[in-house]
Amino acid sequence: MNGQAATIRRLKRIEGQVRGIMRMLEDERDLVDTLHQMQAIKSALARAESEILNVHAANSVEAAIAARSSKAQKETVSDLVDLFDKLKR
Could you state, in order of their start, the residue ranges of all structural domains in the chain?
3-87
- Cα distance between residue 24 and residue 41, in whole Å: 14
Percent of the residues in the chain that have a pLDDT greater than 90, as a whole number: 69
Residues 6+ apart with CB under 8 A from 30: none
Taking CA atoms, 75 is separated from 53, 61, 67, in Å, by 17, 10, 12
Is it the case that residue 1 has pLDDT exceeding 60?
no
Instruction: Give how far the C-alpha of residue 68 lies from the chain's centroid of Cα atoms, to the nearest Å.
Output: 29
Quick: pLDDT tens for 9-25.
999 999 999 999 999 99
Q: Would you identify the CATH topology of the domain 3-87?
A: Methane Monooxygenase Hydroxylase; Chain G, domain 1 (1.20.58)
- The residue type found at 77 is V
pLDDT given for residue 18 in this prediction: 98
Is it the case that residue 73 has pLDDT exceeding 60?
yes
- Cα distance between residue 44 and residue 70, in whole Å: 36
Residues 6+ apart with CB under 8 A from 37: 17, 20, 21, 24
pTM given for the model: 0.79
Quick: pLDDT tens for 11-63.
999 999 999 999 999 999 999 999 999 999 999 999 999 999 999 999 998 99
